[in-house]
Structure 1
Amino acid sequence: MPVPSPAAATQGESELSPAPEGAAPMKEKKKRPALDRRELTRPRVAPRAQSRKAIMEKFGGAASGPAPNIKKMGGVNSVKNMLLEWCRAKTRGYEHVDIQNFSSSWSSGMAFCALTHKFFPDAFDYAALDPAKRRENFALAFSTAEKHADCAQLLEVDDMARMSVPDSKCVYTYIQELYRSLVQKGLVKTKK
């Protein structure tokens, strides 16, 4: 950085000493105007974003209505909730079954048994089941669904028995498969 010349320092000028030969000359800094006291206390507001209409015009689209090829759908959660409600409706009245979610509500295996028993009541005696015998409940429900509904046994009995609370994604996936299998068998009617 250039150093002010002694003459400039004594005269109170702000000139800088000339730059050495071969060096690029430095530009003088412009003095910023003093800020008004009101400007210091005024909150800063970000510039307003462009309106949706302006953005759409910029990119050549219409500003009204939904984007093309996009339909409002309930999404995964609504399908999940509908399936959960379906399970509740089908297992209503079954002892030891209170379906509130796709994890802890299925931990004893009784909900799986109740659901399969609802569609195949002659396959086993639900009243004889014990909620404490989790492994047997899982094995019975999965084998019955596989035998009578052709439902792929996506869950392992040992894995389910090992977990105190089943993984909700695994249970949800299995219930989806069971539902699909029951629909294919004509045991569950769907709206077209």
Structure 2
Amino acid sequence: MQSPAPEGVAPPKEKPKRPALDRRELTRPRLAPRAQSRKALVEKFGGAASGSAPNIKKTGGANAIKNMLLEWCRAKTRGYEHVDIQNFSSSWSSGLAFCALIHKFFPDAFDYTALDPANRRENFALAFATAEKHADCAPLLEVEDMVRMSVPDSKCIYTYVQELYRSLVDKGLVKTKKK
């Protein structure tokens, strides 16, 4: 038996009791509604629910895109002294890979041959400032952070290169395949 509630305070409401679910209901697969949803979706977009599937080309996911961007970087920096891009980490540690990539698109912005791999701080500063000024690339990386790390974080480098690529596409300097 519950004690009466203090004056001015409403007594707690009792929760309605739910009938116990049959164990079979808890483990029953819910495939029928999903199959019906898929069928309705296919029919909505003009395809037949049965028969051959439409010809859809898969890109291979995130790794394929990452590898395509890495290959693009290699192609654009081929022939630049002290640059051998193998990954999105240690290959960028001197700052020269950034400088070479940016110099490829803006050759009059600076003299690449005057750069020294030992001057990491200056290389990063030049690359990031030039990319921001000429390509309108967002300043996603800090020079001091890059200098502090002997081996740059691959996710940071990849993200910055993606942003640089997008900026170059927006400026019309990189041609992409039309869909």
Q: Structure 1 vs Structure 2: percent identity of aligned residues?
A: 81
How far apart, CA to CA, are the structure 1 residues paired with 2:35 and 2:78?
A: 54
Q: CA deviation at 1:74?
A: 1.6
Q: Runs of 5+ in structure 2 lacking a partner?
A: 1-30, 40-48
User: Of 145, 149, 154, which residue of structure 1 is paired with 2:140?
Assistant: 154
- 2:106 aligned residue: 120
What is the 5 A alignment of 1:1-192? 72-192=58-178
Q: AA paired with 1:89?
A: A
The aligned amino acid for 1:154 is L
Question: 4+ residue stretches of structure 1 with deviation over 3 A?
Answer: 58-66, 70-73
What TM-score comes out, normalization by structure 2 length? 0.69
Deviation at 1:73, TM superposition (A): 3.4
The residue identity in structure 2 corresponding to 1:83 is L
- Decide which structure has the larger Cα Rg and report it: 1
**What residue number does 2:18 align with?**
none
| Residues 1:74 and 1:159: Cα distance change in structure 2 (over 3 Å) | same
SS in 1 for 2:141: coil
TM-score by length of 1: 0.65
- Structure 1 unaligned runs (5+)? 1-54
- Distance apart, 1:72 and its partner CA: 3.3
| Cα-to-partner distance string for 1:93-146 (whole Å, 9 max, x where unaligned) | 000000000000000000000000000111111001000010100000000000
Give the partner amino acid of 2:115. L
**Cα-Cα RMSD:** 2.5
Distance 1:156 1:65 in 2: 52
Report 1 or 2 for greater relative contact order, CA contacts < 8 Å, sequence distance ≥ 6: 2
> 2 CA distance for matches of 1:131 and 1:180?
27
